[in-house]
Each structure stands twice: as C-alpha cells, then as structure tokens.
Amino acid sequence: MLLFPPIQTSLSFTSSSMKNTAFSPPPPPTSLYPTPHHHHHHLLLLFPQPPSIPHHLFLKTYNPHPLRHRSPRPLSAASDKASELHQWDSMTARFAAASNVPFLLIQLPQILLNARNLLSGNRAALLAVPWLGMLTGLLGNLTLLSYFAKKRESEAIVVQTLGVVSIFVVLAQLAAAGAMARPVFSAISAVVLLGLVLNFMNYFGRLDSGLWLLWEDFITVSGLSVLPQVMWSTFVPSIPNSILPGIVSCTVGVAVVAMARIGKLPEDWVKFVRSISGWTATLLFMWMPIAQMWTTYLNPDNIKGLSALTILLGMIGNALMIPRALFIRDLMWFTGASWASILHGWGNLACMYFFDSISSAFFFPATLSLFLWIGAALWRDTAVYGYNTPLKSLRELAFGR
C-alpha cells in the first residue's frame, strides 16, 4: 500500500512567447492549476510533473519560449520527455518500495529463532544478541523515518517504519528473556510509540509545528550523542573504554540546539542544525560496516559467524533505493544507500570471499549484478534528464546545480 502525493504539472508556455504568431495555444483544461511565479514570467502548466523532481532540474528539460530560440523543441518531443520523466519517477518509487522485501527478510530469521528459543525455555540463547547494537539500529531507523516523513517520501517511510517495528520486536523478545532490563525496554517503548505517532501525524499534516521542532531537537541531540560513542567503542579494547565521547557530544548537541532555538545562530547554521539528525543516522549506518571489518581484521575466524545471505539481502535492499535517491537529488539518501550496498554489502562479501567463507559462484554474480545495477541507474537518470554524461547528474546531486 503506497501513498502517492497528488500529481502536479510541469510543461509551461507564456503568453508573451506566442505574440505575433499565426496561431495561439489552446486554452488549458480547467482542472489544472497555476504554478508559483518563476523567472519565466507566469507559467501555464500543460503536462504532469512528478512532484519529487526539483523544479529547476525539470525546467531544463523543456524550452518555455520556443519561438525565441534558434532550435525550438516540438510540443510532441516535450510531451514525450515529460512522459519519460514521469515513468522513471514512478519506477524508482517502485524500486524503493520493493526494498521492503529484503529488509523484512533480514530480521525475520532472527525473530523466528528468538521465538523458538523462548517457547522452548532456552532464554540463555537470547543473551548472544547484543541489545545495544539493536538499539543503535532502532535509533537510526527512527531518525531517518523523521527525515523522510518531512520530505513526504512514502516508500522510504515504509522502509524505515518496517526497520523500527522489526527491531522493536527483537528488543521485546530480549526483554522477555531477561537479556535486557525492563526499565530500559519501557523507556525505549515510549520513545518508539511517540516517534511513530509524531512522524505519521506530521506526514498527514496533523501535527503542530512547535511539537515537531521539539521532536527534531530530541533526535538531533540523540544522534549527536550516540554516533561518537559508537565510533569510540568500536576500537575498544585497543583504546580505553569510556563514555566521555558520548557525554561531550551530548553537551555540544544540547548547546547547539539551544542556540538555534533562541536565535543565536545565523539562518544557514539553523538549517544545518535541522539537517544534522538525518546525517548522524546515515553516518551511524555507514559506520556499521567499518566496525564489522575492524572486528574481522582482529579476529578473522569470526567471519564464519556471518551470514552471507543476510549481507546479500542488505546489499539488495540498499541498492534498490539508489535510483530513487539519485532521481530526486537527495545527497544524504544516495550516500547512505550507496555506502551500505557497496561497503557494507559487497565489501563484507569480498572479505568473506577472501577468507574462503563463500565460493566464487556466490561472490562474482553478486558483484556483477550490483555494479551493473548502479551503472544502469546512472545511465537511465542521465537519459531521462537529457544529459550527455552521468557526471552532470552526480554534480547536481552533490552541489544542486
């Protein structure tokens, strides 16, 4: 069940561009809407535009003043281009929605195994599941859910909600087995319930903006507190075990958020503070493969405990989101999905292949499929925007122009 926003419109002509000509444009259908003012005077919309496409990028596809240019674009060609963009917009949304399948399958085996151990009375088996690591993943999913709810990306919202719910089920099983303190689980339950309610109320426009800002401040401080602490803890016992990184970063986060609230920061800095939570969640997920590789480097025998199928499913799920992130020019989403599919997915598979944990018949087809998929996504994005090289798409992704 996917929620798509209302389809708006894109192709435009001005009345001034049709002066002194032998014909006049047909009147627009009464059911279409006028656009906001733009530098091309008052635009009159004739064709549907995917709502996710950045307006400045979409206008590059068309010629709004065909009679003033030496090489006018025929109306049929512009219509075909609008249709092509709309089709690719719809297809990338379906790819992002399809990523729910591998992400669901990742947690399902763990949930079923925990349920069997609980029913058989083998509660000690659940002690092997690190609840702190699961909590870190839960916080990352909840933070990204807020990011995508604000952007109205329905498919990504479903993915992150699925991540929150599936990890919460695992934590509930750990609490039932006594592998996690009940007060901690109660606090986590309250945060998860509050987060889901606030995010979906905000998505449907039913939440007060002040309350949403409070939630954003909370996840910003939480993300800033957790990320440095997780990075530090990765290298223990090579470095001293300490909670100082988390305390320092939490203090800095509270101070920055407070300064943004009372107007002591420039407007650009306030926007940056509002984007921190999404980036900290992305960096948190990006750090996970580094932590895994460091553990493998210190204890190569531990690689036999990794599930190649689980890693492959994670690689597929993140790779399915790459075309959508590229198409809507979301640098944070593209960075996280690409990093997770290439480093966390393929990188760990490469380590497993190097240590003879998986066969070449498993590794090389997975490698070829991943890089062909990324290449196809770049090629298709370049084609639908009418560019000559994918470097143009990547430059717009990184710099917005």
Distance CA 261, CA 264 (A): 8
d(CA 61, CA 45): 14
Q: How many CA atoms lie within 13 A of 58 on its CB side?
A: 24
112 contacts 181 by C-beta, under 8 angstroms: no
Q: Tokens standing for 194? A: 């509050």
SS3 for 329-343 is CCHHHHHHHHHHHHH
Polymer length of the chain: 401
User: pLDDT tens string for the chain (401 positions)?
Assistant: 444 344 333 333 333 343 344 444 444 444 333 334 333 333 333 333 344 445 444 444 444 333 334 444 555 666 777 888 889 999 998 998 888 888 878 878 778 888 888 888 888 777 766 677 778 788 888 888 988 888 888 888 988 898 899 889 988 998 988 888 888 899 999 999 999 999 999 888 888 888 988 898 888 898 888 888 888 887 877 788 888 888 999 999 899 888 888 888 888 888 888 778 888 888 887 787 777 677 767 777 666 666 788 889 989 999 999 999 999 999 988 998 998 899 888 988 998 888 888 899 999 999 999 999 999 999 999 999 889 999 999 999 988 76
R_g (Cα) of the chain, nearest Å? 24
* DSSP-assigned states of every residue in 83-144: HHHHHHHHHHHHHHHHTHHHHHHHHHHHHHHHHHHHHTT-GGGGGGS-HHHHHHHHHHHHHH
Query: Using an 8 Å Cβ cutoff, are 85 and 51 in contact?
Result: no
Pairing of strands 12-13, 44-45: antiparallel
pTM over 0.85: no
Please tell me the number of Cα atoms within 13 Å of 370 on its side-chain side.
Answer: 28
* Helices H / strands E in the chain, number of each: 14, 4
CA angle 148, 154, 156 (to 5 degrees): 55
Closest by CA to 337, choosing from 305, 370, 363, 364, is: 370
- Residue 66 DSSP one-character state: G
pLDDT of the residue at 401: 67
Amino acid of residue 238: S
Exposure of 325 in the CB half-sphere (CA atoms within 13 A): 21
pLDDT score for 78: 66
Q: 3-state class of 217 per DSSP?
A: helix
In the chain, the amino acid numbered 90 is S
Domain boundaries defined on the chain: 8-90, 208-282
**What is the predicted pLDDT for the residue at 115?**
87
Instruction: Spell out the residues 6+ positions from residue 348 whose beta carbon is closer than 8 angstroms to its own.
Output: 289, 292, 293, 296, 306, 311
- Supply φ then ψ for residue 266, to 5 degrees: -60, 160
Instruction: Output the CA torsion sign for 161, 195, 245, 128.
Output: negative
Which H, E and C letters describe 280-319, residue by residue?
HHHHHHHHHHHHHHHHHHHCHHHHHHCCHHHHHHHHHHHH
> Are 341 and 370 within 8 A, CB to CB?
yes
* Adjacent-strand bridge partners of 48: 9
3-state helix vs strand vs coil in the chain, percent to 5: 70, 0, 25
Amino acid at 249: S
**Distance in angstroms (rounded) separating the CA atoms of residues 163 and 284:** 15
In whole angstroms, give the CA distance from residue 353 to residue 152: 40
pLDDT of residue 101: 87
Other C-beta atoms lying within 10 Å of the C-beta of residue 77: 12
What count of other Cβ atoms lies within 10 Å of the Cβ of residue 180? Answer: 23
